[in-house]
Amino acid sequence: MKFSVLSSEFFSFLFSGPAFVCKPAFQGSGGPSPLHCLAATATPPFQSGVGLNGKNDGTSLQTRKNKRRFIRKLALFALSCTMLMSSCATAQELAARDNASASADGKGSAESQALLDASDTYASEQDQLLEKEIQEELKKKKKSSKSKKNKEKDKVTLIEEEVAAMKSGEETQNGVRRKELELPGIEHELSQKFLRQYLTASGQKVLVRSLENAAPYLPYILEQLKERNMPLILQYLPIVESNYLPNAVSRSGATGIWQFMANSMAPYLEKDSWYDERRDPWKSTDAALSKLEYNFRFFGDWELALAAYNCGAGAMGKFVKQNPGKDFWYLAENEILKKESILYVPKLLAIADIIENAHYYGATGIEEAVKAIENVEPEKFTYIKTAGMFSFNQISKATGVSKTKVKTLNPALFRNCTPAREVYSLRLPGDMPEDTEENLKKQGVATDAVMYTVKEGDSLWGISRRYGITVEDLCSVNEISEKKVLSIGKKLIVPIFN
């Protein structure tokens, strides 16, 4: 009877949990020890749970429950094995134990209950530890999630506040109100990218140098913008184009502070073998503003007009025709325009915003550069007509204006002389006496000139004698020393005096 009961418990345990096998590990004359009965399955039940972190780390609540269930079954199995071994003893041993069966059963029950009580105590302790670990893990996750959400919220809030401040001009930094720009779009992500770039130390240095370069020309540009009733933000466009360098030449051949291409300068500017009006900041300013005015009248939108200045009115007209009713930002965001044209307007807005709000951004270097040129009146000039070729040396000698100043005021004259065979309007300081033009004529004018290519055996003396001029005249026009050794292939301007 005992055997059948124990067997039923034993086989019930086998079929309700993991299968067990007994390894042949005998102790003395007894049977296999219950302690050597191991699970036959490769993965015990307490190894199949999923932890709090989503991995098979054996730390989840279900895993802990499986472990406790396993311990209880193991205890029951050990007890069953012990009693089974007793039931399989010899009849003599059974008879001898009949007298003490009550006490043996009582002792076995006490041992079983003690083992189960210990198992329950262990399980209870494990439950408490597990519950504590779970609560701590949940707190950490909740705190981490809350911290992450707060950071994201703070970041979004900060950006929204900055954009709102930009739009409303609120007094938020350095005790000053941010000046709003004439054109919208500074809050756009493309503009913000350039804003961050130019607010770096190196970016601010670039803007300071550009403003220093702009000092001779900016007052005139501002005056023209006001007279034409155009947005004053356009005064910063030469920074985008050339950093206000009159002699700037791009890889594609765009020249001057406004970067005119040779095929886009007509009908505004002229160029020949003696001068290039794209290099003249005053003449090119008049041309650039006229071109921008035309673009605005055509497109009816300053952002499109500016982008058209970069990519060409023809190309922009094609983009607008293909996307009717769409503005610049739509064309930029959908990458319909070329990359350079997409970045053109945002870059201008960022530069203008920093310069206009230098104190707001704490850009002290830029602020000082702005103060140095603000409220400065445009320089006044005297224009005289030259018929024929005069070198800068001759002009300086006749007018008393330094050669450097003559060159600065006439950067279009890249051969350092006025053109031969034509009348040219020479720019000089505004306080020149009325007889300046007559004094210049007395210097002797070359009514014609030729371009001479140096050959083997040529010398300054030989060339000047061939054309009936002095070595001094030849050297003055070409700005070379009389002792210079000529290199074969060099081109010289040879003035012809009648």
Other CB atoms within 10 A of residue 114 CB? 10
Phi then psi dihedrals of residue 319, to 5 deg = -65, -40
For residue 382, give the nearest of 395, 394, 373 by alpha carbon: 395
Going by the DSSP 8-state scheme, the letter that residue 247 receives in this structure is T
Task: Provide the 3-class DSSP secondary structure of residue 218.
Answer: helix
Looking at the DSSP bridge assignments, the partners of residue 382 are 428
DSSP 3-state percent helix, strand, coil across the chain (nearest 5): 55, 10, 35
Q: Which residues contact 412 (CB under 8 A, 6 or more apart)?
A: 275, 276, 277, 278, 279, 280, 283
333 is catalytic: no
Q: Using alpha carbons only, what angle is made at residue 37 by residues 35 and 42, rounded to the nearest 5 degrees? A: 125
Going by the DSSP 8-state scheme, the letter that residue 270 receives in this structure is -
For residue 413, give the nearest of 280, 249, 254 by alpha carbon: 280
Q: Which residues contact 57 (CB under 8 A, 6 or more apart)?
A: 51
245-254, long-range: CB < 8 A, 24+ apart = 245/213, 246/279, 246/280, 246/281, 246/411, 247/279, 247/411
Please give the Cα distance from 486 to 471 (Å, whole number): 13
Please give the Cα distance from 231 to 221 (Å, whole number): 11
For residue 269, give the nearest of 291, 247, 253, 293 by alpha carbon: 291
Structure tokens at 133: 């670990």
Please give the Cα distance from 263 to 288 (Å, whole number): 14
Do you know the residue count of the chain?
A: 498
Check if the beta carbon of residue 276 is closer than 8 Å to that of residue 412.
yes
Of 241, 277, 356, 437, which one is the catalytic site residue? Answer: 241
Structure tokens at 195: 């804003």
Task: Report the catalytic residues.
Answer: 241
